[in-house]
Amino acid sequence: MGTVISVEGVGQRFGSRTIFKDVTFDVQEGEIFVVLGGSGCGKSTLLKQMIGLLTPSAGKITIAGHDVVRDIDAVRRIIGVMFQSGALFGSMNLLDNITLPLSVFTDLPATARVEVARMKLALVGLADAALLLPAEISGGMAKRAAIARALALDPPVLLLDEPSAGLDPITCAGLDQLILDLRDTLGATFVVVTHELPSILAIADRCVMLDSAAQGVIALGRPKELRDSSTVPVVRAFFNRETL
Amino acid sequence: MVVATMRVSPGVIALSGPLSARGIGRLWEHAVSAAREAGGGALKVDVSGATVLDTSGAALLLALEAGHGGAVEIAGADQHGVALIAQMRKVKPAKPAAQPAKAGASGLAWLAVARIRLEFFGAMVLALLALPAKRRFLRGADFARIAERAGLQALPLVIMLGFLIGMILAFQSAVPMRKFGADLYVANLVAISLFRELGPLLVAVILAGRTGSAFAAELGTMQVNEEIAALTTMGIDPETMLVLPRMGAAMLIMPALVVTMDIAGLIGMVAVLMVFGFPLSAISAQITASSGPADFLQGLVKGVIFAAAVALIGCRAGLTAGHGPRAVGEAATSAVVGGIVATVLLDGLFAVLIYRLRL
């Protein structure tokens, strides 16, 4: 297993406001790596930097050896992204949402595109919802459909922003299991941004914790080890649901 | 870009290269045809030469199985590939059943739409009746903002269109009427046309395009964002809080817009006739001789009714919008089309009514 994602000394400032600085970690191939932290610590900002929607104020991010700033086209060919809202195209049914990248980036004939898209929907348990519009499905289904769309071109790296936010515990557990199954089935590398503790403990091989007060990384490691043996008060409070 | 390749021999299809979405596009149909043509006997699909096997590649292998119809052996996949194919086989969906055509579905849909519209107008009547008890739902600031956007901001467009329409009408009618020596009567024609018909009609069309669509988009977005549901759950009638102020504002600004349109149209007509050599006093005398306050008032009354219809239809389109971003666009389209059609229908009705009343 080699390093797929490398984040080196990355920082982000908006005007005079520093969101975080000197964030450094790497993600190994086939790993489920979770970026966690309290609200406002910069988790989603870091994800936006990793997918090229935001240029870091400092530092460098590479994915599979490609610099995210300089070589964004190469990066976008190997990543799939699920946005927090799902960001499904409201005017298209789920099947069309998934066939869209297939029709743009592959030579697959129309029947094959539909066949492949139906398989992706089946993989996330939405085989029967293919012809529904995003407005006609539940939040959990929308998240799964968004994962299926991120999987459309079978990217080796998947980045998921808050996949379980706003969902009930049973649906959350189902999504966590889906992520584990997809990693095992597809061998893909996952970066998951979340602050849902049960999800973190269920899926993360390793995690990095950001903190707004520290303006950067306060913990890096396996979640259960951090929960049981971290000496940082914020980390202990986060994992043990304590007040500071 | 490296793509997958296929070699076919009796009973064997050998696939090599990247069996991924980007790699299999060109060979998909050939491979499925080859599998179909292999007949019902045993078929071996050899993927030992595959450099990549992902879900799209696995989908192709399952399509080959389905195309062949008989026993298919997939050979040469590594452990990960075998697991992936097994998983895909497990979740593979059955073909979706075709939707059965429902006899009379379009007729029923039309009835459903008619019912929704009727319900809306019923709700509006109730909202009007209940208005004294629900005065608190009305917000003066909203009313002023809507009136400003629908009225004041539409003035430049109304002036420009009125002036141009007056000029065009005068010019187009003056040329043929000159043949009969009746070109001075162009002033009578244009003045009556503007006061009775074109003034209110054109302003109503502008109102439908500018304001009716804006009402529909605004309320449609509120519907999509569940703001209407939030109002309803708070016990506030959306009809009273959102529709009545819009209707009132549209009806209030309409006479001003119609007068502006009439004046701008007359100025355009006067400009053309003066270029044709008629003095202003002669044109003025023709206008006052041919049209009176009744013509002018008729236009104003029609304008107010048109404005009510356009506003009501725009608000109805917004409040009954469906879900998703497409719904807002459909609501705006429905508002413009409905507003213009209703205006023309009402104008026809007025024509009959005025003829019967000999006004």
- B322 C-beta neighbours (distance < 10 Å), count: 15
The pLDDT assigned to B114 comes to: 81
- A213 C-beta neighbours (distance < 10 Å), count: 10
Question: Predicted confidence band at B103 (pLDDT cuts at 50, 70, 90)?
Answer: low
- Amino acid found at B202: L
Asked if pLDDT for residue B97 goes beyond 60, the answer is no
- Chain B contacts in chain A segment 187-216 (CB below 8 A): 187
CB contact under 8 A, B29 and A109: yes
Mean pLDDT of chain A: 90
- Chain B contacts in chain A segment 91-120 (CB below 8 A): 91, 102, 105-109, 111-112, 115-116, 118-120
Question: Predicted confidence band at B80 (pLDDT cuts at 50, 70, 90)?
Answer: confident
Q: Is A145 on the interface with B (CB under 8 A)?
A: no
CB contact under 8 A, A184 and B83: yes
Of B26, B54, B87, Cβ closest to residue A107: B26
Question: Predicted confidence band at B215 (pLDDT cuts at 50, 70, 90)?
Answer: very high
Beta bridge partners of B75: B46
Question: Predicted confidence band at B102 (pLDDT cuts at 50, 70, 90)?
Answer: low
Q: Is B29 on the interface with A (CB under 8 A)?
A: yes
Question: Predicted confidence band at B314 (pLDDT cuts at 50, 70, 90)?
Answer: very high
Helix/strand/coil for B335: helix
Q: Report chain B's C-alpha Rg in angstroms.
A: 34
CB contact under 8 A, B63 and A122: no
The pLDDT assigned to A76 comes to: 87
Distance from CA of A127 to the nearest CA of B (A): 6
Burial (Cβ within 10 Å: 0-12, 13-18, ≥19) of residue B288: exposed
The pLDDT assigned to A168 comes to: 82
Distance separating the N- and C-terminal Cα atoms of chain A: 38
Asked if pLDDT for residue B100 goes beyond 70, the answer is no
Assess: ipTM above 0.90: no
Residues of A in contact with B326 (CB under 8 A): 90-91
Q: Using the 8-state DSSP alphabet, how is residue B20 labeled?
A: S
Question: Predicted confidence band at B161 (pLDDT cuts at 50, 70, 90)?
Answer: very high
Question: Predicted confidence band at B101 (pLDDT cuts at 50, 70, 90)?
Answer: low
CB contact under 8 A, A185 and B87: yes
Helix axes B79-91, A110-123, angle to 10 degrees: 90
Chain A / chain B CB contacts < 8 angstroms = 93
Of B3, B21, B28, Cβ closest to residue A154: B21
The pLDDT assigned to B168 comes to: 94
Which of B54, B65, B328 is the best residue to mutate to test the A interface, defined by the most A CB atoms within 10 Å of its own CB?
B54
**Alpha carbon distance B161, B202 (integer Å):** 9
Mean pLDDT of all residues in A120-142: 89
**Alpha carbon distance B214, B267 (integer Å):** 30
Among chain A residues, the shortest Cα distance to B82 is held by: A185
Contact present, A76 and A52 (Cβ < 8 Å): yes
Domain chopping of chain B, boundaries? 5-90, 136-357
Contact present, B59 and B21 (Cβ < 8 Å): no
Helix/strand/coil for A19: strand
The pLDDT assigned to B355 comes to: 85
Distance separating the N- and C-terminal Cα atoms of chain B: 79
What CATH number should be reported for the domain whose range is B5-90?
3.30.750.24
- Chain A contacts in chain B segment 60-89 (CB below 8 A): 60, 62-63, 80, 83-84, 87-88
Mean pLDDT of all residues in B263-275: 94
Of A123, A128, A187, Cβ closest to residue B80: A187
Q: Is B10 on the interface with A (CB under 8 A)?
A: no
Contact present, A109 and A124 (Cβ < 8 Å): no
In this structure, what token pair is assigned to residue B294? 């009744």
Place of tokens 């059965």: B100
- Amino acid found at A57: S
Q: How far is CA B77 from CA B15, B137, B346, in A?
A: 11, 69, 73
Out of B2-16, B118-132, B317-331, the most confident range is B2-16
Contact present, A9 and A205 (Cβ < 8 Å): no
Mean pLDDT of all residues in B81-90: 86
Query: Any alpha helices (H) in A51-109, and if so which ranges?
Result: 72-78, 94-105
The pLDDT assigned to A53 comes to: 86
A171 vs A91, residue with greater confidence: A171
Distance from CA of B112 to the nearest CA of A (A): 20
The pLDDT assigned to B310 comes to: 95
Tell me the pTM. 0.67
- Amino acid found at A72: I
**Alpha carbon distance A146, B322 (integer Å):** 22
Asked if pLDDT for residue A3 goes beyond 70, the answer is yes
- Amino acid found at A62: T
Contact present, B63 and B29 (Cβ < 8 Å): no
Distance from CA of B203 to the nearest CA of A (A): 33
Beta bridge partners of B15: B6
Asked if pLDDT for residue A9 goes beyond 80, the answer is yes
Beta strands at B12-19 and B5-9: parallel, antiparallel or unpaired: antiparallel
Contact present, B189 and B205 (Cβ < 8 Å): no
Asked if pLDDT for residue B128 goes beyond 70, the answer is yes
A143-147, B73-77, B178-182: range with lowest mean pLDDT: B178-182
- B115 C-beta neighbours (distance < 10 Å), count: 10
What DSSP letter does each residue of B25-91 carry, written as one string?
Answer: TTTHHHHHHHHHHT-SS-EEEEEEEEEEE-HHHHHHHHHHHHHH-S-EEEES--HHHHHHHHHHHHH
Mean pLDDT of chain B: 88
Q: Which of B43, B12, B315, B287 is nearest to B166 (CA)?
A: B287
Q: Tens digit of pLDDT for each residue in A27-81? A: 999 999 999 988 889 998 999 999 988 999 999 999 999 999 999 889 988 999 9
**Alpha carbon distance A35, A204 (integer Å):** 9
Beta strands at A216-221 and A206-211: parallel, antiparallel or unpaired: antiparallel
Question: Predicted confidence band at B225 (pLDDT cuts at 50, 70, 90)?
Answer: confident
Q: Tens digit of pLDDT for each residue in A176-223? A: 888 898 888 888 999 999 988 889 999 999 999 999 999 999 999 999
CB contact under 8 A, A186 and B96: no
Asked if pLDDT for residue B105 goes beyond 60, the answer is yes
The pLDDT assigned to B96 comes to: 61
Find how far residue B249's CA is from the centre of its chain: 23
Q: Which of A166, A188, A202, A203 is nearest to A79 (CA)?
A: A188
CB contact under 8 A, A112 and B28: yes
The pLDDT assigned to B99 comes to: 55
Q: Which residues of A46-61 are buried (b: 16+ CB within 10 A; e: fewer)?
A: bbbbbbbebebeebeb
The pLDDT assigned to B10 comes to: 86
Distance from CA of B352 to the nearest CA of A (A): 44
Q: How far is CA B58 from CA A218, B270, B334, in A?
A: 42, 78, 46
Helix/strand/coil for A211: strand
A158 vs B355, residue with greater confidence: A158
Residues of B in contact with A30 (CB under 8 A): none
Segment (H or E) for B116:
helix B105-129
CB contact under 8 A, A112 and B63: yes
Mean pLDDT of all residues in B180-188: 87
**Alpha carbon distance B199, B201 (integer Å):** 6
